Amino acid sequence: MRWVLLVYFWLFWVPAQSTDTSFQSLFVVKTDTDNNGGCAQYLDQFETFIAECKELVNAGLQVFEDAAKPVSTREGRVARSYLWTYFRINDDAQAMASVKNYLTRVKDFLGGETSTDKAHLYCNDEWLEKEHLTDAAKDKDGNDRWQDYPDGSRAPYAIFQIPEYREYLFFKNDDGMWEPISDKVPYWSDDLKDYIFDSDYEGGTYCTPAANLAVTQERTTPKTMTFCPRALRSRNYVTRTLGSRAPTRGDSIQVNVPLSGTLYHELFHLVIGNYHTYDLEYLWSKQQKALEINPYQAVKNQDRDYLSLLRENPETYLFFSVGYWYFQQTRWGTVAKPNRRWSFHSGVAELIQ
């Protein structure tokens, strides 16, 4: 693989990170209950998640420092392979700077640097009350919003009548007329005294579908992050903690991600914003297949091509960071081969010396 030496020091410089931040210092959390989105039973688990996320983002950033080393060194060679395999970056300084910027911003957040209101984190979706479009709209104090008629009578506004909610509930058709967005309903948060607008989930809520693990929304101030309980329990193909399972030769990177990977994924949505962290693809195998076919293919309903979106995809950063974290570990060395490491530089587990 050809590599052009880059003269921009920032690309390879890795900033130090404060390590004294905790879960509760980074998020607003209900600590005394498990009801209505409370996280009482998960506080210790989230402290572990935060510690592991710090390890992961440091591993991801270490790639850039190691990539500056000569290709004759193992670290230099492997780091460059990671950049190519996961992001298709060879000598593209702009793409490299963008990927590093995403990781740096997440690292800064984990270090306690944030310029926005502290996000609320919930451990179930019970903090939201599902409502109907025709229900009375509430104001910032939780009271009904009233409209006055010329004859002196009054009536509460319905949620669908509020102008600032229109873009979330309606779309303009080809004739310029507003039509309701199917399957879009309001949810009221008594904590935030505000609405979010989401799917009806066939009469359920966000955590009803088994595939849903966590979601970050940014319509409200502050932003919120909601975890479904299943995201906090052991499940197939996910390790309980980072590195608690030794890889097997040929393993996909996807079967070696830890439970904390869901939080790591959501941090990119929270810090960067949902528009620039589109969930392109969750499966490693499908990512790679699409890259082999055409990395510049158009993506439906998106204004950026596949490769551009891949470089913004939170799950790609998760795979990239977990993979390089494994490469940094020395625990699998032997007396005969003390420098032996597991590496996922091709996307699958390989022991290298």
Residue range 293-303, pLDDT digits in tens: 999 999 999 99
Label residues 53-78 b or e (16+ Cβ within 10 Å = b): bbbbbbbbbbbbebbbbeeeeebbbb
pLDDT along the chain (353 residues), means of 10: 43 56 96 98 98 98 97 96 97 96 98 88 98 96 95 95 94 90 94 97 96 97 97 87 93 95 98 97 94 94 95 98 96 80 95 90
Domain ranges of the chain: 9-24+49-117+226-352, 126-205
User: Distance between CA 255 and CA 283 in Å, rounded?
Assistant: 10
List the CATH code of the domain at 9-24+49-117+226-352: 3.40.390
pTM for this model (two decimals): 0.92
pLDDT in tens, 127-167: 999 999 999 999 999 999 999 999 999 999 999 999 999 99
